Amino acid sequence: MPSPRKAPQSLQNEMDEVLNAVNKTIAKILPETDLPEDRLYEAMRYGTLNGGKRLRPFLVIQSANLFNVNPRRSRRVAAALEFVHCYSLIHDDLPAMDDSDTRRGKPSTHKAFDNATAILAGDALLALAFEILADPETHEDPHVRTELISKLARAAGGHGLCGGQILDLIGEKEEFDVGTISRLQRMKTGGLMAFACEAGAILGKTDGPHRKALCNYAHDLGLAFQVTDDVLDVEADPDTTGKPANQDALAGKSTFVSTMGKDAAKMRAEMLVAQATRHLQMFGSRADTLKELAEYVLMRRA
């Protein structure tokens, strides 16, 4: 069982490299304009270029690297996925939803702009994700493009992100068991993580055991990520996480910590990470970065 430790410098360097590359791609897709509707694009830029860790883009690019995919392609898929992730954060923060005034230590998009602009910026980011994936620049084979779109749309829709978020809201009033919380988190977090890893295999036109292994890795990693998120919510420093502590408990939400206790949750996360890395054995040392990333998820503080 791996124990939490500091991320090796090489992992940090690789993550920084992806972060810079994806930020450049996003900025290129969302240029400043002098159109009367530029306020919308300003909010889209604000909601996407505000200091995220780019964990999902990192997963896309690292998974795609296993199949020697041209990075120009994987960066576009990474940006599209990050647009979906950021749109969901913008909408989740709205007063009607989680009512969060801050995100990553800065005013959330609806505080920096207004509710209407935040709703529309989220909507436009979601549509833009599919526009990017449908573009031949993302991949010359339209089979690859439609498969990416189909998988991302599922992960984003009623059986994915949106379904998970409605369960999250229902969970503020009803108590869930661990099974329902796991399902909720698979929809809310796991779906986009799984897409990130599977996208690498889709871009590499690989089916079969390698693709399956990446999906299994992503599934365990996503759940481990959410369990540590719940732990961070109760024990982390708001200055590090950039958001207030104990938000879940205050909202009366059922979480892994509220249901199974903090220590058991930490053990569960460790077990999931160990399981995640085992799925990658068939890739040998080529998947070392993805294995290191799984351990990083355990020891993160934000």
Stretch that binds its own copies, among 58-66, 129-137, 204-212, 223-231 (CB under 8 A): 129-137
The rounded distance, in Å, linking the Cα atoms of 166 and 170 is: 6
Tell which positions 19-48 bind its own copies, by CB under 8 A.
35-37, 39-41, 44
Residue selected from 107, 163, 238, 242 as contacting its own copies according to rule CB under 8 A: 163
Angle (deg, nearest 10), helices 71-92 and 142-156: 20
Residue selected from 47, 52, 57, 122 as contacting its own copies according to rule CB under 8 A: 122
Task: Characterise 32 by phi-psi region: left (phi > 0), alpha (psi -120 to 50), beta (else).
Answer: beta
In the complex with its own copies, the residue whose CB is nearer, 108 or 165, is 165
**Alpha-carbon distances of 80 from 85, 130, 134, 283, rounded to whole Å:** 9, 7, 10, 26
Minimum CB separation from its own copies for residue 9, in Å? Answer: 39
Minimum CB separation from its own copies for residue 12, in Å? Answer: 34
Q: What letter does residue 301 receive in the DSSP assignment?
A: -
- For its own copies (CB under 8 A), the number of binding residues is 55
116 counts as binding its own copies under rule CB under 8 A? yes
**Sign of the dihedral through C-alpha 201, 207, 213, 216:** positive
126 counts as binding its own copies under rule CB under 8 A? yes
The rounded distance, in Å, linking the Cα atoms of 258 and 268 is: 14
SS3 content of the chain, % helix, strand, coil (to 5): 70, 0, 25
Residue selected from 7, 49, 120, 264 as contacting its own copies according to rule CB under 8 A: 120
The rounded distance, in Å, linking the Cα atoms of 152 and 148 is: 6
Residue selected from 114, 207, 235, 263 as contacting its own copies according to rule CB under 8 A: 114
Q: What letter does residue 70 receive in the DSSP assignment?
A: -
- Positions in the binding site for its own copies (CB under 8 A): 35-37, 39-41, 44, 87, 91, 94, 96-97, 114-117, 119-124, 126-128, 130-131, 133-136, 142-143, 145-147, 149-150, 153-154, 156-158, 160-167, 169-170, 180, 187
